[in-house]
């Protein structure tokens, strides 16, 4: 018989600095309309053209985003830089991505009443890894003071956390581990093009962590993982061509495609039916009726996208209680978004209540995890 996996606790680390739509747009517009005196004079003499301006109203209406947390605010807002500035650290220092993961991990462990020695496996599952090796997860394992066990890194873009959860559940089920900590540190600002009007507002930085344990360790804490379902379908509509072979093709270096690019409309149109269909299939596979579903903690990319998906699954109009929103404050934090929604909006669950954690994004990739309060 398979061992049962329980999601015992989640953890959250939020950067101290935040950027409002208004601040971001002011910086973008300063750059777009002539970011230095010479460019402004060229525009004035009609020797150069100003770029179309961005607007805070458009951003909120099109996406639901009002602000985002970032690790390095001032350089992003400086029209001469418009990118984060994060100084390199010595090899002996903890790397930034590991540091964020450790903060979220400690939060999850303390909420669960556990110590790092109770953990067997660290998975760092996120959209962008700070370096190829040594694996960030192994650094996190070391920083948490874990003397045993192992760690590895995983990347399935926005679906990294749910794919990580699924891996954790399988490890528990097979007996390979009794306790798995899935960490999702996301420095999305590092690969966002703040000079692209179509996407400069989309992302924020954050870290989350999820502790998954074997049932016998848990008492009546947490949520039973009723089932996980994963889906991928290749698409170029969300893409980032940054990689280790860029230096081998210097003709492409510095191109905008080495940062995040997307066809937002196509993504919206194609991903909504894919995700709603997958959730309905998953419900049927678990013999659950839609009216048994109390809440959907959905990936946080776009407010209307979530409303469409939730309405299609629940078969009725939905409120923020049915599908909580955190992207107004955090923007899209890739794999961490649905975990933050869960973290902040599950306190009212009572024994037997069922909810769905669901991610979707680049790949395309989508993951659904049904949870039942113990």
Token pair of 197 as six digits = 């009007």
Stretch that binds ligand CO8, among 106-114, 136-144, 147-155, 262-270 (CB under 6 A): 262-270
Among 17, 55, 155, 292, binds ligand CO8 (CB under 6 A): 55
Angstrom distance (rounded) from CA 203 to CA 333 = 6
| Residue in this structure with the two tokens 């379902």, named with its chain if needed | 229
Which is nearer to ligand CO8, 184 or 332 (by Cβ)? Answer: 332
Q: Does residue 198 bind ligand CO8 (CB under 6 A)? A: yes
Q: Does residue 168 bind ligand CO8 (CB under 6 A)? A: no
Please give the C-alpha separations between residue 112 and each of 8, 180, 190, 211, in angstroms, as whole numbers.
6, 13, 31, 8
Give the phi and the psi of residue 202 in degrees, each rounded to 5.
-75, -40
Stretch that binds ligand CO8, among 10-18, 208-216, 259-267, 322-330 (CB under 6 A): 259-267
CB of 118 to ligand CO8, least distance (A): 31
Q: Does residue 164 bind ligand CO8 (CB under 6 A)? A: no
Q: Residue 83: count other Cβ atoms within 10 Å of its Cβ.
A: 17
Q: Does residue 158 bind ligand CO8 (CB under 6 A)? A: yes
Q: Does residue 265 bind ligand CO8 (CB under 6 A)? A: yes
Stretch that binds ligand CO8, among 59-67, 97-105, 145-153, 286-294 (CB under 6 A): 59-67
Compose the 294-333 pattern: x for residues touching ligand CO8 by CB under 6 A, - for all others. Answer: -------xx--x--------------------------x-
Angstrom distance (rounded) from CA 34 to CA 23 = 17
CB of 254 to ligand CO8, least distance (A): 18
- DSSP SS3 for 293: strand
Token pair of 297 as six digits = 């903690």
Please give the C-alpha separations between residue 117 and each of 153, 220, 345, in angstroms, as whole numbers.
20, 21, 29
Q: Does residue 125 bind ligand CO8 (CB under 6 A)? A: no
Q: Does residue 10 bind ligand CO8 (CB under 6 A)? A: no
Give the phi and the psi of residue 334 in degrees, each rounded to 5.
55, -130
Burial label, 330 (beta-carbon count in 10 A; 0-12, 13-18, 19+) = buried
Q: Is 183 in the active site?
A: no
Q: Does residue 268 bind ligand CO8 (CB under 6 A)? A: yes
Q: Does residue 63 bind ligand CO8 (CB under 6 A)? A: yes
Q: Does residue 192 bind ligand CO8 (CB under 6 A)? A: yes
Q: Are 185 and 79 in contact (CB under 8 A)?
A: no
Among 29, 334, 338, 368, binds ligand CO8 (CB under 6 A): 334
Angstrom distance (rounded) from CA 27 to CA 74 = 10
Among 43, 50, 62, 226, binds ligand CO8 (CB under 6 A): 62
Q: Are 1 and 159 in contact (CB under 8 A)?
A: no
Angstrom distance (rounded) from CA 79 to CA 241 = 25
CB of 364 to ligand CO8, least distance (A): 8
Q: Does residue 191 bind ligand CO8 (CB under 6 A)? A: yes
Give the phi and the psi of residue 104 in degrees, each rounded to 5.
-65, -40
Binding residues (CB under 6 A) for ligand CO8: these are 54-55, 58-59, 62-63, 127, 157-158, 188, 191-192, 197-198, 203, 238, 260, 262, 264-265, 267-268, 301-302, 305, 332, 334, 361-362
Give the residue numbers marked as catalytic.
158
């Amino acid at each position: 018989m398979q061992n049962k996996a329980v999601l015992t606790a989640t953890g959250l680390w939020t950067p101290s600095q935040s950027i409002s739509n208004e601040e971001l747009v002011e910086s973008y517009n300063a750059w777009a309309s002539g970011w230095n005196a010479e460019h402004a004079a060229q525009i004035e003499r009609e020797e150069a053209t100003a770029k179309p301006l961005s607007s805070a109203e458009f951003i909120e209406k099109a996406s639901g985003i009002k602000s985002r947390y970032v690790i390095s605010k001032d350089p992003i807002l400086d029209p001469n830089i418009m990118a984060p500035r994060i100084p390199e650290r010595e090899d002996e220092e903890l790397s930034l991505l590991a540091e964020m993961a450790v903060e979220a991990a400690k939060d999850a462990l303390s909420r669960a009443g556990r110590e790092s020695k109770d953990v067997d496996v660290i998975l760092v599952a996120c959209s962008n890894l700070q370096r190829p090796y040594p694996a960030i997860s192994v650094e996190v394992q070391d920083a948490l003071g874990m003397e045993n066990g192992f760690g590895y890194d995983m990347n399935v873009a926005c679906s990294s956390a749910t794919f990580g959860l699924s891996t954790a559940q399988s490890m528990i089920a097979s007996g390979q581990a009794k306790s798995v900590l899935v960490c999702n540190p996301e420095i999305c600002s590092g690969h966002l093009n703040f000079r692209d009007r179509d996407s400069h507002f989309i992302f924020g930085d954050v870290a989350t962590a999820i502790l998954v344990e074997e049932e016998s360790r848990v008492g009546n804490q947490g949520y039973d993982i009723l089932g996980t379902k994963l889906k991928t379908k290749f698409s170029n509509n969300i893409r980032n061509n940054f990689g280790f072979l860029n230096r081998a093709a210097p003709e492409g270096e510095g191109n905008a495609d080495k940062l995040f690019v997307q066809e937002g409309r196509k993504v919206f149109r194609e991903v909504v039916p894919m995700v709603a269909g997958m959730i309905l299939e998953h419900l049927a596979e678990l013999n659950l009726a839609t009216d048994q579903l109390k809440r959907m903690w959905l990936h946080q990319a776009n407010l209307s996208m979530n409303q469409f998906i939730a309405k299609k699954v629940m078969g009725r109009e939905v409120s923020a209680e049915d599908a909580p929103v955190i992207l107004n404050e955090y923007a899209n934090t890739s794999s961490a978004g649905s975990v933050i929604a869960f973290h902040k909006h599950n306190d009212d669950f009572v024994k037997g209540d069922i909810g769905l954690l669901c991610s979707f994004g680049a790949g395309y990739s989508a993951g659904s995890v049904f949870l039942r309060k113990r």
